[in-house]
Amino acid sequence: MLTITLDENIPYAAEAFSTLGQTRLLAGRALCNADLQETDILVVRSVTKVNAQLLAGTPVRFVATATAGFDHIDLDYLREQGIGFARAPGCNAVSAAEYVLAALCHWSLIQEKPLQGRSIGIIGHGNVGSRVRQLCEKMGMYCVVNDPPLQEQGHTGLYPIEAALACNVVTLHVPFTRNGQHPTFRLLDAARIAALHPGTLLLNASRGGVVEENALLARLQARSDLDVILDTWENEPAINLELLRHTLLGTPHIAGYSLDGKVRGTEMVYRACCQFLQVEPQWPSPLAFQQPLSMAAGHDHRRDVLHAYDIREDDRRMVAMLRDNAAEHGKHFDQLRKTYPVRREFSGLA
C-alpha cells in the first residue's frame, strides 16, 4: 500500500488521499528527511522547502504542492530524480483577489473617498491579477496593468511599470523569481519605493521578497506618506515587527486562505496524483455552492464587501497575537495560519 505524507494544514487532504493509500499528517514547516523514509507521495504547502536535503535517500516518487506558487520546490532536483510533480495554479486566485478588494474598500472608507475613478496599478496579470482587474473595474476603478512576460507574448493594453507605480494604488501579483529575464526579487527596490507618490496605497499579497522591506520601512519611518497593506513578508514566519507597526493592515499570508481556495487546491493535486498513478479519482469535493454577492453597477458595495469578508479582523488577530508574543512571533505567525477561521468566497468569479 502507498504511504502518503500530507501537510496537516491542507483541508480534507486525509479524506481525499486515503482513497489512494495510507496517510500521515505532519507539520509542514517542521518536515524533515527522516519523516519521509517510508513515503511514496508527498503533498505540501508553501512552508515546506522541497529539495535534495528533504528528499535524498527517500522513496518519494511524486510531490504535489496544494498552492499556486512553487518557489519552495526545487524543480531541477525533481526532474533529475525522475520525481513527478504537480501544483494547483489558480486554486486560490479568487480568494486573493477578494482580499485585495476588501483591502481597497477598507482603505477608501477610512479616506472617505470612493473607489470609483481612482487608478490602480496591477503588477502581474496572471490568475490573481486578472481577477483583481475584474473586481476593480466593477468598482469603477481605472486599471493600469503591467506584465512584461505577457507583453512579450503579444498581449496588448499593458503599460510600463512606471505607469503602474504612478497610480493611486499599487498592487503586486507576480511570482517570486530571482533569475530569468524578468526576476521579481525586490522588484520594488529602494529607488521605486522612493518614487511612489505621497498618498499611494501599496498592497503586497504575492511574496515578501518582491518588496525591499528595509527600504520600505525606511521611507515609512522618514515620512509616513504611504499607506501599506501587507499579507506577505520577507523571512516568514519571523517577520519584521517594526514594519508591521507601520502598516494600515497586516495579515499572516492568508490572502488565498478562503476555504473554497484551499479545498480547490486539495482537489487539484488529488486529481493530479490520481493521473500520475493512473487510477480513477474517488473523492468528490465537499463544498456546496454559495450565492455570490451582487455587485450591480451604480451601488456603493464597499460595506457589503467588508460584511462578506471583514479583512480588519485578520489584521486585529495578527496585531494582537504578535504584540502579546513578540519573543516567539514566528511560532505565532504560523499559529494564526493554522487556526485561520472559515472564510468563503463571495464575488462569484470563476
**End-to-end alpha carbon distance in the chain:** 37
C-alpha cell at 195: 518614487
Told to judge if 312 belongs to the known catalytic residues of this protein, a careful annotator would answer no
Task: Report phi then psi at 336, rounded to 5.
Answer: -60, -40
List 213, 236, 267, 345, catalytic entry: 236
Nearest of 79, 53, 92 to residue 63 by alpha carbon: 79
Told to judge if 207 belongs to the known catalytic residues of this protein, a careful annotator would answer yes
Nearest of 236, 226, 96 to residue 172 by alpha carbon: 96
DSSP SS3 for 152? helix
| Cα 316 to Cα 120: distance, rounded to the nearest angstrom | 26
List 133, 186, 253, 264, catalytic entry: 253
Told to judge if 303 belongs to the known catalytic residues of this protein, a careful annotator would answer no
Instruction: Report CA 326 to chain centroid distance, whole Å.
Output: 24
**Residue owning grid cell 516568514:** 236
List 131, 207, 329, 332, catalytic entry: 207
Region class of 225: left (phi > 0), else alpha (psi between -120 and 50), else beta: alpha
DSSP SS3 for 52? helix
- With contact defined as beta carbons under 8 Å apart, do 139 and 101 qualify? yes
Nearest of 205, 296, 212, 194 to residue 251 by alpha carbon: 205
| Cα 124 to Cα 201: distance, rounded to the nearest angstrom | 17
| Cα 315 to Cα 1: distance, rounded to the nearest angstrom | 44
Please give the positions annotated as active site. Answer: 207, 236, 253
